[in-house]
Amino acid sequence: MFLFGVMLLRLGAHDRGLEVVRGAVADGFTPVATLARHRAFDPVRRTPSFGLVQDEARRRTQAAQALFEAGGGAELLGLPAATRLN
């Protein structure tokens, strides 16, 4: 669904595209780096709606990271502290 939303954005259907992307994030897909960098989001990047989507993706990513860390995931995988997400 996320990619469908990106395609809608690229076609100029900004409201619908952002709505589809918002749904993908709400369903658990959290492409924080893509939201921050992909040029398909340039037309909507400064809108309040996009900011909310980006904030939700960041919040979900941080929550998943916290669960991973609290559950000993990094140690289980043998990840050194320098490679962990911040």
Per-residue DSSP letters for 44-57? TTTSHHHHHHHHHH
What domain range includes position 36?
2-83
Domain tally, the chain: 1
- Please, what's the largest Cα pairwise distance for the chain? 45
Tell me the residue ranges of DSSP E strands in the chain: none
Give, in order, the Cα–Cα distances in Å from 81 to each of 28, 64, 70.
26, 17, 14
**Residue 86 scores a pLDDT above 60:** no
How far is it, in rounded angstroms, from Cα 73 to Cα 21? Answer: 29
pLDDT-derived band at 72 (thresholds 50, 70, 90) equals: confident
The whole-model pTM stands at 0.82
pLDDT digits (tens, 9 = 90+) for 13-64: 999 999 999 999 999 999 999 999 999 999 999 999 999 999 999 999 999 8
- Dig out the tokens for 74 from the structure: 């990094």
